[in-house]
Amino acid sequence: MLKESHGIKHHALETSRVCGRLERHHQFGEQMLRRITLAALAAVTALAAGLPFPVAGGSKPSVSDLSGPGEPVVVERVLDGDTVSVRGRRERVRLANIDAPEMSHGYGKPGQPFSVQSTKWLTEQVEGKPGVSMRCVDEDRYGRSVCDLYRNGSHVNKELVRAGLAWANTANKRYLRDRTVLDAQEEARAAHRGLWAQPKPVPPWEWRHTCWDGAVCAP
């Protein structure tokens, strides 16, 4: 009887252990099911809203994922069509690949047509706006970083040219690193956008030489 009683107790203990393991597996299965369901709901919600899908681990896309190449930045002020002030940088930043119409620089240095429109366009695109990133490629003779700006993946420098409010900078071959900016310029020229609506638009590098230095300014 003692042996039989011991066997019954052992069997009961094993049964209890098996039941415990089954209960734990059941709880784990419920947790996984909840996680999968929540992930699926989040993906469907993101798809419906036109947002990126949530990534593994529940982390959110970084700012750089949403803005484009380079480092995320805050443009504090647009100074003209190709120069900006960026938070955390002492020197101004010069936009790469392009040259915008010159703003007035005081007596004897009048501004060009479309300089105000160029500055206004760039201000509306990047000043204080989210989703802006910057990739710098050089430094000019004034110590300014020469950079490409992006907003939500769009190349701002190129789009300014496409809008007819800046030139592809062909003053020197080393200034034009992205040849696709020329394609954007040809598109603007063919559509007579912005400065290309003028009969004889003058590139800024010629304006600085003939008007500012030579005092021979186009009407």
- What span, in angstroms and rounded, lies between the C-alpha atoms of 156 and 104? 23
160-215 residue pLDDT tens: 999 999 999 999 999 999 999 999 999 999 999 999 999 999 999 998 888 888 88
Same domain, 49 and 80: no
Q: Is 98 helix (H, G, I), strand (E, B) or coil?
A: strand
Same domain, 85 and 137: yes
Could you list the residue range(s) of the whole structural domain that residue 122 is in? 66-213
The pLDDT-based confidence of 154 (bands split at 50, 70, 90) is very high
- Catalytic one among 135, 144, 189, 193? 144
Mean pLDDT of the residues in the chain: 79
Same domain, 194 and 159: yes
- What span, in angstroms and rounded, lies between the C-alpha atoms of 102 and 107? 14
Number of domain units in the chain: 2
Same domain, 128 and 204: yes
In a domain, 6, yes or no: yes
CATH of the domain at 194: 2.40.50.90
Residue 144 annotated as catalytic: yes
In a domain, 219, yes or no: no
Same domain, 20 and 127: no
Residue 94 annotated as catalytic: yes
- Catalytic one among 102, 151, 159, 162? 102
Tell me the two tokens of residue 90: 């002492």
Instruction: Name which residue leads in pLDDT, 131 or 52.
Output: 131
Question: CA distances (Å), 26 to each of 12, 21, 130, 139, in order?
Answer: 21, 9, 46, 63
4-38 residue pLDDT tens: 444 444 444 454 554 455 455 445 445 544 554 44
Same domain, 83 and 28: no
b/e per residue 70-92 (b: at least 16 CB within 10 A): bebbebeebebbbbbbbeebeeb
Same domain, 75 and 39: no
